[in-house]
Amino acid sequence: MLKRYIPLRFILVFSTFLLTILLYIDRACISAAKEDITRDLNFDLTDFGWVMAMFTLGYALFQTPSGKLADSRGARSIIAGIVALWSVLTALTGAAWNFVSMMVIRFLFGAGEAGAFPSLAKVVFNWFPVRERGIVQGINFSGSRLGAAFALPLVAWMLTQVGWRMTFVIFGGFGLVFSVLWYLIFRNKPEQSTAISKEEKEYILANRQQPSASAKASLPFRRIISSGNMWMTMIQYICSNFTFYFTLTWMYPYLKDRFALGGIEAGFYAMAPLVGGAMGNWFAGILVDAIYRSGRLRLSRRLPAIIGFVLAAFGMIMMSIVESPQLSIIFLTLAIFGADMTLSPSWAFCIDIGKENAGAVSGTMNMAGNLGAFVTIIAFPYLLEWTGKHETFFYICSSLSVIAIIMWLFMNPDKAIEK
């Protein structure tokens, strides 16, 4: 009876929204647990930076391979498998006993999570009309921000109740449950689902992007990176991630240490930029689709991204100037709202140029972006150590946003990557 009243793709996007919440809760746990982990395992600031960076390195390196797997085998089995894998590794994080074991576990954890967003790009290609692509991507990425936002105060509270080791075990258990449910319920294409109505299936098939007749079934990596369009996409995504990953890794300890805040208080302060990021995703997704429906494909991708990078550059500069935690949070929230405005157009752009190879193309972009994030995580403590101040890092963030704006002026969603 439910499928007669609620389109199945609406239920699907709610499910992928929950997936991205879980993804970032598991990822953000370690930031909130920094003090407990560094105390118990005798880490210093740069040690902990390398632990967080190893996750991002594993995550980056496995983006394109996992995207190609999603393209060839479908998102049903790939998402179920990677959620199960990263959930086991989340739990194993709580069993780490020294620096080396934590580095290995976090690298494998990152590799396990790598296929999530490229696989979701394949879900969007198969299940959603082009005119809905922006808001669907915005909803999915907003879940990741909300997951990280709520994780910070939640984990801070759980640390006082069960300790950091058991906290990771509990979150790992949630992921295993999701993995089983996804495999049992989801189907790769609407044509394979018995739960979808005939009317909705016909609507999706008539309005989703069609595969290119000349495109290869499996696009070689060398062909992907030979595209100038792809290189500009990767560069701008590096710039976006350089700003955003500060919130996911160093924002909580930065606020806590700079403004002498308590753990739970810092957690609530740190929620604001991440909630702002979720709002940026929603706003950009709506804007992308609204401009697209007016018949201007290029503008629908470029304008939201350029506005976002302008806000990101301004917010990070202002954050380096102000002295109070309240103003610092306000400008950081503005910056992350802007940085996250760039995600929906970026991933929609990858599906535009990748088509049936959307998983591999979006995975390649995400690989580059997370190599940038890897640098972010390492750069923050080392820049602080070398210069004795935080402002240098924020200036770099702003400069990269300006470079990203230049990239978007030349990116062309009409130019697909084909044989």
Mapped to the 3 state alphabet, what secondary structure does the chain carry? CHHHHCCHHHHHHHHHHHHHHHHHHHHHHHHHCHHHHHHHHCCCHHHHHHHHHHHHHHHHHCHHHHHHHHHHHCHHHHHHHHHHHHHHHHHHHCCCCCHHHHHHHHHHHHHHHCCHHHHHHHHHHHHCCHHHHHHHHHHHHHHHHHHHHHHHHHHHHHHHHHHHHHHHHHHHHHHHHHHHHHHHHCCCCHHHCCCCCHHHHHHHHHHCCCCCCCCCCCCCHHHHCCCHHHHHHHHHHHHHHHHHHHHHHCHHHHHHHHCCCCHHHHHHHHHHHHHHHHHHHHHHHHHHHHHHHCCCHHHHHHHHHHHHHHHHHHHHHHHCCCCCHHHHHHHHHHHHHHHHHCHHHHHHHHHHHHHHHHHHHHHHHHHHHHHHHHHHHHHHHHHHHHHCCCHHHHHHHHHHHHHHHHHHCCCCCCCCCCC
| CA distance readout (Å), 184 to 10, 23, 74, 76, 140 | 18, 19, 14, 9, 21
Judge if pTM exceeds 0.85.
no
CA dihedral (22, 25, 26, 30) in degrees, to 10, reads 180
| CA distance readout (Å), 374 to 105, 111, 238, 251, 270 | 16, 13, 10, 15, 21
Q: What domains does the chain contain, in order, with CATH numbers?
A: 2-191+218-408 (1.20.1250.20)
Instruction: Give 65's contacts (C-beta < 8 A, 6+ positions apart).
Output: 114, 363
Residue 401 is predicted with a pLDDT of 96
Burial of 403 (0-12, 13-18, 19+ CB in 10 A): middle
> Which ranges of the chain have pLDDT less than 70?
1-5, 210-218, 263-264, 419
Residue 88 is predicted with a pLDDT of 93
Residue 217 is predicted with a pLDDT of 55
pLDDT, one tens digit per residue, over 110-162 is 888 888 888 888 888 888 888 887 788 888 878 878 877 777 778 878 888 88
Look-up: residue for tokens 């739970």? 264
Token couple for 407: 């990239």
Rounded to whole angstroms, the Cα distance separating 244 from 238 reads 10
Token couple for 373: 């994030």
- Answer yes or no: are the C-beta atoms of 304 and 345 closer than 8 Å: yes
Residue 419 is predicted with a pLDDT of 59
